[in-house]
Chain A
């Protein structure tokens, strides 16, 4: 079945760039999403990319998609302490309205 995998933890220094990686197995994926979860809260949609795109930039966020390798990444430029959170990657298959989520990457930004 479909699967989405992420590394569990990433620690960066404030001001550096963060890169969070995700791999997925569903070759019929149409949209891929990045969500942010702060402690005790729901998930907030950060950005998304359509599967026929390679890159999408939105202010400090850059999403890269390598469809051949089924690899998605989220780069956060000039990472701030407020970016500390759990980041979830999710994919939507071609014929489904459901999203499949990864297990989340906890980002810790050190001052």
Chain B
């Protein structure tokens, strides 16, 4: 079955450490996205990538970094510069070239930084 796999489901880190969240898709989608979800605030876009080796900042990119070396993979690094990293992180993908392109989501990674 095609889908998006995020790992791990739960992640715990100490303050000051960088941490990388994994996202892999086998849907052959061109575009991939990272969202952050906080209670009562909906989804906020961190970074997105339309094609391999290219990505753009979203609305809240500060303190995060990404890479897109392969079509299937879009890892997100939460750096120590992110002031409030504890959140639920969602990865998504769609066929950017399609006019109707609903997002397909992974099951998320809950990051807790203490």
Contact = CB atoms under 8 A, between A and B. Distances in A.
Interface residues of A, number: 23
Interface centre among B41, B50, B103 (most CB of A within 10 A): B103
Contacts, number: 55
A42 B101 contact: no
B6 to A, nearest CB: 8
Interface string A7-34: 0100000000000000000000011010
Contacts of A8: 40
Interface in A49-74: 50
Contacts of B101: 92, 97
B11 interface: no
Nearest to A5: B42
Interface in B59-113: 90, 92, 94, 96, 99-108, 110
Contacts of B99: 30
A99 interface: yes
Contacts of A98: 33, 45, 48
Given A50-B100, A98-B45, A103 B40 contact: yes
Classify chain B: how many residues form its interface, as a range.
20 to 34
B42 to A, nearest CB: 4
7 contacts: A31-B100, A33-B103, A40-B107, A40-B110, A92-B101, A97-B101, A99-B102
Interface of A: 8, 30-31, 33, 35, 40-45, 48, 50, 88, 90, 92, 97-99, 101-104
Interface of B: 4, 6, 31, 33, 40-43, 45, 48, 50, 90, 92, 94, 96, 99-108, 110
Given A30-B100, A43-B105, A88-B42, 17 more contacts: A8-B40, A40-B110, A42-B6, A42-B105, A42-B106, A42-B107, A43-B43, A43-B90, A43-B92, A43-B103, A48-B102, A88-B43, A97-B101, A98-B33, A98-B45, A99-B102, A103-B40
